[in-house]
Structure 1
Amino acid sequence: MKPEYLDIPLIKNEEKQQFEITIDGYKALIVYKERPHVITLIHTESEPELEGKGAGTAIVEKTLTYIEDSGFKLVPLCPFVFAYIKRHPEWKRIVDENFKGFDE
């Protein structure tokens, strides 16, 4: 994550079921579903003004940290999150053991 994004707070918008960060007035978000002890990440997007600026990486890293710190397990259905974890396999430590997507 870019150093300038470290202090940007992650918002868990439970009403919209999405994690959000705001950078220079623009949003990046990850849509999620929550069950007891498990968070499924479904879709990541950022406003066009943030494309290519590392906002996607920042929201993924902040969200994965939140999931781990909160004691949840992760189901990474979002292709962007899935690809991020393939590039950073240390995050497999929080993936729900019933998720078999990385075995293929």
Structure 2
Amino acid sequence: MEIINNEKNLQFEYHLNGEVARLEYRFYKRDIAMMHTVVPESMKGQGVASALAAHAFEFAKSKNKKVMVYCPFVAKYVKKHPELREQIDREYHPNL
């Protein structure tokens, strides 16, 4: 699955059959904030949101940025992947 970083719109994207799934992010203070994930109905159940989240965490790690989580899907993803907790900014998310 090819995920692209649309730096202009601050979102990671996956394109399929003319539709776009996205995970929106923002830079805040010293962190990257994961804001919102949107997956079209036609792509649901195919692991697209998980691929977007995985890519987002890889990007944050490559930029040496801690992650702030505002997106409910990303919060669930982190709970399923406890190895990612080391990337979470504990100042903002002490319980994640």
What TM-score do the two structures reach when normalised by structure 2? 0.87
The structure 2 residue matched to 1:48, chosen from 41, 47, 51, is 41
2:74 corresponds in structure 1 to 81
Q: How many residues are aligned here? A: 96
Q: Is the 8 A contact 1:30 1:41 kept in 2?
A: yes
Q: Is the 8 A contact 2:68 2:93 kept in 1?
A: no
Q: Percentage identity across aligned positions?
A: 27
Q: Is the 8 A contact 1:37 1:71 kept in 2?
A: no
* Further displaced range: 89-98 or 34-43: 34-43
How do 1:22-41 and structure 2 match up within 5 A? 22-41=15-34
1:76 and 1:68 map into 2 onto residues whose CA distance is 15
The structure 2 residue matched to 1:93, chosen from 60, 83, 86, is 86
Letter in 2 for 1:16: N
- CA distance change for structure 1 residues 100 and 63 in 2, over 3 Å: closer, same or farther? closer
Say which SS state the counterpart of residue 102 (structure 1) adopts. coil
1:24 and 1:69 map into 2 onto residues whose CA distance is 30
2:10 corresponds in structure 1 to 17
1:50 and 1:101 map into 2 onto residues whose CA distance is 33
2:30 and 2:14 map into 1 onto residues whose CA distance is 23
Q: Name the Cα RMSD after superposition.
A: 1.7
2:71 and 2:12 map into 1 onto residues whose CA distance is 13
2:65 corresponds in structure 1 to 72
